[in-house]
Amino acid sequence: MKALRHAAAMSMLCLCCGVAVPAMAAKSDAPPKAAASQIEIRNFAFAPNSMTVPVGTRVVWTNRDEEPHVITSAGKQFATSPALDTSDTYAVTFSKPGTYAYYCSIHPMMVGTIIVQ
Ligand SMILES: [Cu+2]
């Protein structure tokens, strides 16, 4: 349903001149979106702490704790996040299949896994 609505919006008339604008020329603030998955950091844990996503998925962590957390790849497979304060987010797009284990470098007992396939 989301995709259909999006397509309809892209083909609407230009509001300023009334001319139909081709979808490719439509102004967009964001690049085409890959599927996104959300992980919340809450009570010193990643929720969900394990998820399986298709290749190309953008995974977004959001810190819901009052404490800072740092997303760190266990195998240095992706860049380490800055220290996330409350409500801060960090996103990684996974373009290769694999198993990505990560942890919080401040609280190493906080661990999670993302399986990309
Ligand atoms: Cu932490």
Residue 44 CA, ligand 1 centroid: distance in Å: 6
Overall pTM surpassing 0.85 (yes/no): no
What is the average pLDDT across 97-106? 98
Residue 1 CA, ligand 1 centroid: distance in Å: 37
Residue 106 CA, ligand 1 centroid: distance in Å: 5
In sequence order, the β-bridge partners of residue 37 are 59
With a cut of 60, say whether residue 12 has pLDDT above it.
Answer: no
Q: What Å distances lie between residue 12 and 3, 24, 28, 29, 30, CA to CA? A: 15, 12, 13, 17, 18
How far, in Å, CA of 4 to CA of 21, rounded?
Answer: 17
Residue 49 CA, ligand 1 centroid: distance in Å: 13
Q: How many CA atoms lie within 13 A of 20 on its CB side?
A: 5
Query: Which residues 6+ apart lie within 8 Å of 78 measured at CB?
Result: 92, 94, 100, 102
Asked if 85 and 65 touch (Cβ cutoff 8 Å), the reply is: no
Residue 47 CA, ligand 1 centroid: distance in Å: 13
Local confidence band at 38 (pLDDT 50, 70, 90 cut-offs): very high
Residue 61 CA, ligand 1 centroid: distance in Å: 12
